[in-house]
Homo-oligomer: A and B are copies of this chain.
Amino acid sequence: MSRTINLAVIPGDGIGPEVVAQGLKVLRAALPQDVKLETTEYDLGAQRWHRTGETLPDAELEALRQHDAILLGAVGDPSVPSGILERGLLLKLRFAFEHYVNLRPAKLFPNTRTPLAGRPDIDFVVVREGTEGPYTGNGGSLRTGTPDEVATEVSVNTALGVERVVRDAFERAQARPRRKLTLVHKNNVLVYAGHLWKNTFDKVAEEYPEVTTDYLHVDAATIFLVSQPERFDVIVTDNLFGDIITDLAAAIAGGIGLAASGNINPAGTHPSMFEPVHGSAPDIAGQGKADPTATVLSVALLLRHLGHPAEAARIEAAVSADLAERDGARSTDAIGDALAARVSA
């Protein structure tokens, strides 16, 4: 465990810088006395793209690689054509740094909104694959713009890529009290990728006899997420299905304003990146209205990843206590202050 955390910070666009400031505040408050934090800011996102046309130059990719971890606020703006920052920055980082575990916990904290009736018991985590599937950018378009256009998207799935994320999910399931792991796919239609996922899952399952396993088609999974969310403990799924069900999971577990995520390279060969699931919300940027809680919870994931589980748990407890007493609107800064105060106390 390093005594200095050498953190790269990408504040990004819209509310990104505001929520990141609070995330760093709480991170500083949570760190043990003998651990130093060094931060380096990287100016990446919509503004940078408008100024220079660059999304993520190689030199900055290499510089980012030297850090212990990355904290990202949010990138994106309606003024940038769809796909440019997503593929040129966010996904490029996930792919270049082999963030094959996209970790997204869903927990319904006290006193938070859920669109579901009766406040079900929601406490699960989605292990979304982060480096393969339909996200690889494979595909193309023939006779573009004509009445004869054919556009394809190729989902690429490798035994290497599937097995490493499935193993990680079994490890996480094994470490939780309920020890239950659900594979979500669509193997009755996507039979090639589906067989690879299902066979790998079944094979690795033999090494984890204490973990109860289950399989759901992605369409059925959305039904259970709203009708019986308590049935889930750990979910493992592909990149696109994971994208979809984690937004749904965030919606039922208090809203996207509370959803944290880690883009994790468990092998530690590259820095992992932590970011709130929400976007840059340009409509409320600069007004001190953004809720920094998702970023603060992402900081907890960061600390756990870097080997500080007690500090991570302290942040999560602070969020839980703060939400339990939250009442009326508070500014971004006020929420950050309150969380930092609880964490230091």
A190 to chain B, nearest CB (A): 5
A211 interfacial by beta-carbon distance below 8 Å: no
Q: Complex formed: what's the CA distance from A195 to B143 in Å? A: 13
- Which chain A residues (70-129) contact chain B, with CB distance < 8 Å? 82-83, 86-87, 91, 114-118
User: Given A87-B191, A117-B116, A139-B192, do A240 and B150 touch, yes or no (CB 8 Å)?
Assistant: no
A6 within 8 A of B: no
Residue of B nearest to A158 (CB): B150
Q: What interface size band does chain A fall in?
A: 35 or more
User: Could you list 18 A-B pairs, sorted by A, with CB under 8 Å?
Assistant: A83-B191, A115-B227, A117-B117, A117-B118, A135-B189, A139-B190, A139-B193, A141-B192, A141-B196, A150-B157, A151-B195, A153-B190, A154-B154, A155-B155, A189-B243, A220-B247, A222-B245, A248-B248
A196 touches B151 (CB 8 A): yes
A138-170 CB contact bits vs B (8 Å, 1 = yes)? 011101111111111111111110010000000
8 Å CB contacts to B: which residues of A233-291?
A: 240, 243-248, 250-252, 255-256
Instruction: Known A159-B148, A187-B83, A226-B115; judge A192-B153 contact (CB<8 A).
Output: yes
CB < 8 Å: which of B115, B153, B191 contacts A155?
A: B153
| CB <8 Å contact, A219 and B244 | yes
Could you mark each residue 180-221 of chain A with 1 if its beta carbon is under 8 Å from any beta carbon of chain B, else 0?
A: 000000111111111110010000000000000000001110
Instruction: Pick from A153, A154, A196, A220 the residue with the most CB of B within 10 Å.
Output: A153
Question: How long is the Cα–Cα vector from A151 to B200 in the complex, in angstroms?
Answer: 12
A-B residue pairs, 7 tightest by C-beta = A219-B247, A222-B248, A149-B159, A223-B251, A153-B155, A151-B196, A151-B192
Q: Which residues of B contact A195 (CB under 8 A)?
A: 141, 144, 151
Contact of A83 among B189, B219, B223, B248 (CB under 8 A): B189
Q: Which residues of B contact A199 (CB under 8 A)?
A: 145
Task: Pick from A163, A189, A220, A251 the residue with the most CB of B within 10 Å.
Answer: A189
Indicate which residue in B155, B188, B191, B243 contacts A186 across the interface (CB closer than 8 Å).
Answer: B243
CA distance A40 to B200 in the complex (A): 44
In the complex, chain B residues whose CB is within 8 Å of the CB of A219: 243-244, 246-248
Q: Chain B residues near A83: list those with CB within 8 A.
A: 187-189, 191, 194
Give A222 to B91 CA distance when docked, in angstroms: 21
Task: Please state if A140 and B192 are interface contacts (CB–CB under 8 Å).
Answer: yes
Residues of B within 8 A of A86 (CB): 188-189
In the complex, given contacts A140-B192, A226-B226, what are 7 additional A-B residue pairs having Cβ atoms less than 8 angstroms apart? A91-B189, A134-B134, A139-B191, A148-B160, A151-B158, A222-B247, A223-B248
